[in-house]
Structure 1
C-alpha cells in the first residue's frame, strides 16, 4: 500500500512538507524495535513512555514517515501531525491490515474475573464444531494452532490488527478476545468490529490505573457502548451478553444499542443454571434456555465456573451453534492452566493453583474449595508490587477468614520491597487471627505442602498460569505448578 493511499483515512491532518516522495509501506508500527526500511512510525504518548522521544531512532532504522501529535522540529522524513496519535494508530492499522475483524465473527469478553476461562470455553465450543479459531488473551495469542506470546491481556491495536489479519489468512472463522478495562480506555480495540460482547462480573481491580471504581466501571462499559449503533435489515445485529446476577449489568445495558442476552443463577435470566452440585472433580447443574432443559456434568469446579459456562454457552448460542453441540463441548472442556488447576500427590494431600489475584477471585476460589474439602485448607497468597495497594488488606482478610492456615508470601514484587507489601496485607488481618509470613514464595509453597496431611488442600493463589516472578524489572522463571510438584516429591521422600 502506498503512503498516500493510507493517509486518506486520516481526515484531519497536517503533512509537513505537503509534497513528499510517495513510497510503498512495509510496516506500520509504534515500536522502534520493529522498524524496518519504509516503515511508518507512530509516536504514541504512552502511560510510561513517550514515543516522540524515539522518532530520530526510528528514522535511523528506516522509517520513511512519522505520525505525531507534538512538535518535532525539522525532520529528514515527512511528518503527519494529528490531534491524537492513538486514534490515528487505530485508523491506520485497521486500514493497513485490511479491516480483518469484518472477515470473521469476533467475540469480546470483559469483566474483572473469568475472561480467560470464558474465552477458552468459547474457543473450545467452536473448535468442537470443526471450526478454525483464534484466541487473544492473558496467556497467549493463538492463530489456528500457532501460539504466540503476549505482553498484555489485550495487545496494542497494531499487534491486534496484525494478529487478526493472520487469522483471516489461515481461515479463522471465529475469534475470542479478552478485553481489559485498561485496553478499552487506551483505545486498544478501536476499530475492531465485535459481533458479540460478553460481561462476566465487576469487582475491585486495576485501581492503580483507574483510581476509582466509577472510572473502572466506565472503562468496562465502553465495550458495550461502542458495540455498534446501526441495525441491518437482515437482523444480523450486534449482541451484548450480561450476567444478570451482577448489579453492574443493568448500567451496562443502558449503554448499548445492541440486542441483549442475559444469563444467571439467582435472578431471572434467559439462560439460567439451577440444582448446582459442586464436588472435587467437577460440577453438575441443570441448564434452562427458554423452554429447553439440559443436565450438564462438567470437569470445571466451582460456582464461578458455572457463571463462566453460562457466559460461554450464551455467546455460542447467539452465534448460532446448536444447543446440544454446545453442551457436549462444555462437558468435554477440561479447564485452563492455572485456573483451579489440581495438583495431586501420593501423600493424600493435594494442591490447587489458581490465578485468584483479586479479592473477589480469592474469595470465590476459597469458597469453592471449602465446599468439597474434607480436611484442612491452606492458602499461600501474596499481592503484586507497584499495583493496587487498596486490595492488599482485603486479600489478607479473605485469606485468614476462609482457610485454616494462611501463608503470606511474595507474588510479583516488582520494584517494591516484598516486606512492605506483606506489611500492608497484615493490616487487614482481624484481631485474634494470624498468618505465617514467608517472603520466599518457593519456601512458602514447600512449607504449606509439608504441613498438609491426607485430605488437606493447599491453595496456591495469585499467579496461576504465570511461569515467572517479576523482581525489580526482571522476570525470573517461577511456576507454581512446578513448585507444588517439587514440594510433593520432597514430602514423599521424607
Structure 2
C-alpha cells in the first residue's frame, strides 16, 4: 500500500518523506515481525519501549518508522523514512485500519463491555444471530471464531493491528456479523479506535483493574468510550453505572429484572442446571417463555443483554428465544467438570468481588451440602480487591481453600496474605495451600457427602503464569488426574 493511503487520517508532527507514493509491504509493532519494506510502529508497552528496537527493525528491512513526539528524530534522518506523531498507539489503529481497508465497515459489528458477563453475552448474541441466518465472527477471552472455525485468543481484545487483520480474515470468509468483547484496556489503549460499531452493549461495572485505571470513575470513563463510538446502545438499567450511561444516552435500549426496561425478565425460576423466565418486550407486550441451559441469576442478565441487542437490531422474539435456548455450557462459566454420588465440582472464571459474589449466590441456590470454595487472586493486578474477595469468600462459603491464581511476578504468599486480611474478618473455616494442584487435590481428597466444590478464578484458562514461566494448567485435566490417582 502506498504511504499516502496508509497514513490517511494520521496526525503528523514531523516527517522526512518526500515521495508519499512509495509502497509499504506490511505493518509491524514488534521488531521481530519486521521484514523488508515494512512500516514499524514504535509502541511504548508496560515492559518494553518499541523505540529501543528501531535499529533492529531497520536491520530487518523496515522502510518506514513511526515514532512518538518525544523521540529525537535526528537519529533517523539519514537512515530511514520516518513520521513523528503524538500517540503511536493511535497511529497503530489508524494505520492498521487503513492497511486492511477498514473491514468492519463491511459487516455488523457488536461490542460488549462490562466487568462481568462479556464472554457469556457474546456467545449468546452469536447464537441468536446464527438462529436468524447470519454467519457470525466471535472475538473474546475464551476463543476467536469465524463461523464454527476456532482460533486461539491471546487477549480479550487483540492489539489493533491483529484485530483489523482478524476482521479482514472474517470479511474474506463472508462473515456478515461480528460480536466481540471490548475490554477497558483496549478502549484506553486505542485498540478499537477505528472500529465501526453498530451496537455497544453494557453488562455491569464492579471493582476490577484499578491497578490500571486508578479509580472507578476512570474505569467507567474508559468503558464509556465504546458508547461514544456506537450507533446504538444497550444498557443494564439495574446497574448504577448503567443508569449513568442512560442519562448520557437516553435513547439507549434498556434491560433489567428489578427496573422498568425495554426488555425484561419476569417470573424467574432458578434450578441447579438451568433457569426459566418470561422474556418480555415493553413496547409491544410480546413475551416468550425461555429455558436457559446455564444456571444462576447472572446468566439471566447475560441473556437479557443478548436479547436486548437482538431487539435493537429488529430480530423477533421467537428467534431470540430459539437462539438463547440453543446455547449450552460456556467454557469456564459455571462449568460442571465432575458430579458423582459424593460431590460436585464446578470451575468458573470469577476473579472479581462481584463475580465471586454472584458465583457463590448461584452455588447457594443449588448446593445440598457444604459449599467449598477454592480461589486465589492474580499477581501484578489490583491489590485492593483481594481482601474484599477474601471477606466475600468467608461469608459465602462453608470452607475456603486459599491458593494461587496467576501470581506472575508477585510472591504468592504475599497475595494470599492480602486475601486473608478480609477472610479473617469472618468466622469461616479455611486452609492455605499455595500450590494450586495440591489445593485441588486437598479439596477432592477431603470432600464430604454432597459437597459442592467451586474452583474459582481460572475458568477457561489452560495455563498458570508463575514468576519465571508459564505452565500448562487445565483444571479439567487436573481434576481428572487427581480422581484417577485417588482410585489407585
- The question of a shared fold, defined as TM-score above 0.5 by the shorter chain, is answered with yes
Gaps of 5+ in 1: 228-237
Per the alignment, residue 45 of structure 1 pairs with 44
* Structure 1 position 56, deviation (Å): 1.2
The 3-state SS of whatever aligns with 2:242 is helix
Supply the distance in 2 between the matched residues of 1:301 and 1:205 (Cα, whole angstroms): 24
Gaps of 5+ in 2: none
The 3-state SS of whatever aligns with 1:435 is strand
Per the alignment, residue 12 of structure 2 pairs with 12
Supply the distance in 2 between the matched residues of 1:7 and 1:222 (Cα, whole angstroms): 23
CA-based RMSD of the aligned residues comes to 1.6
* Aligned 8 A contact 2:124 2:324 in 1: yes
* Structure 1 position 20, deviation (Å): 4.7
> Could you give the per-residue CA deviations for residues 234-292 of structure 1, whole angstroms, max 9, x where no partner exists?
xxxx21000010011121224448x4100000111110102111111111111111201
Per the alignment, residue 181 of structure 1 pairs with 184
Structural mapping, 1:195-274, within 5 Å: 195-227=198-230, 238-256=231-249, 259-274=251-266
- Which of these residues, 446, 449, 453, is aligned with residue 451 of structure 1? 446
* Aligned 8 A contact 2:398 2:429 in 1: no
- Which of these residues, 427, 434, 437, is aligned with residue 432 of structure 2? 437
* Structure 1 position 127, deviation (Å): 2.2
* Aligned 8 A contact 1:20 1:78 in 2: no
Supply the distance in 2 between the matched residues of 1:170 and 1:89 (Cα, whole angstroms): 24
* Aligned 8 A contact 2:267 2:278 in 1: yes
* Structure 1 position 13, deviation (Å): 3.9
Supply the distance in 2 between the matched residues of 1:451 and 1:15 (Cα, whole angstroms): 68
Supply the distance in 1 between the matched residues of 2:301 and 2:309 (Cα, whole angstroms): 12
Per the alignment, residue 361 of structure 1 pairs with 355
The 3-state SS of whatever aligns with 1:352 is strand
* Structure 1 position 463, deviation (Å): 0.6
Supply the distance in 2 between the matched residues of 1:373 and 1:74 (Cα, whole angstroms): 66
* Aligned 8 A contact 2:34 2:60 in 1: yes
Supply the distance in 1 between the matched residues of 2:59 and 2:435 (Cα, whole angstroms): 45
1:55 aligns with 2:69: no
* Aligned 8 A contact 1:400 1:406 in 2: yes
- Which of these residues, 405, 414, 420, is aligned with residue 411 of structure 1? 405
> Could you give the per-residue CA deviations for residues 405-459 of structure 1, whole angstroms, max 9, x where no partner exists?
1100011111111111111111112154341001111111111122223322100
- Which of these residues, 106, 109, 114, is aligned with residue 106 of structure 1? 109
The 3-state SS of whatever aligns with 1:275 is strand
Supply the distance in 2 between the matched residues of 1:443 and 1:173 (Cα, whole angstroms): 47
> Could you give the per-residue CA deviations for residues 379-415 of structure 1, whole angstroms, max 9, x where no partner exists?
0010111111111111111111111111000111111
Per the alignment, residue 191 of structure 1 pairs with 194
* Aligned 8 A contact 2:121 2:305 in 1: yes
Supply the distance in 2 between the matched residues of 1:435 and 1:63 (Cα, whole angstroms): 57
* Aligned 8 A contact 2:142 2:331 in 1: no
Per the alignment, residue 458 of structure 2 pairs with 463
Supply the distance in 2 between the matched residues of 1:271 and 1:78 (Cα, whole angstroms): 55
Per the alignment, residue 375 of structure 1 pairs with 369
TM-score normalised per structure 1: 0.94
* Aligned 8 A contact 2:157 2:181 in 1: yes
- Which of these residues, 301, 321, 327, is aligned with residue 327 of structure 1? 321
Provide closer, same or farther for how the CA distance between residues 431 and 292 of structure 1 changes in structure 2, counting only shifts above 3 A.
Answer: closer
1:35 aligns with 2:34: yes
Per the alignment, residue 489 of structure 1 pairs with 484
Moved more, 214-223 or 362-371: 214-223
* Aligned 8 A contact 2:393 2:400 in 1: yes
* Aligned 8 A contact 2:374 2:456 in 1: yes
Supply the distance in 2 between the matched residues of 1:324 and 1:38 (Cα, whole angstroms): 53
Runs of at least 4 residues off by over 6 Å: none
Per the alignment, residue 24 of structure 1 pairs with 23
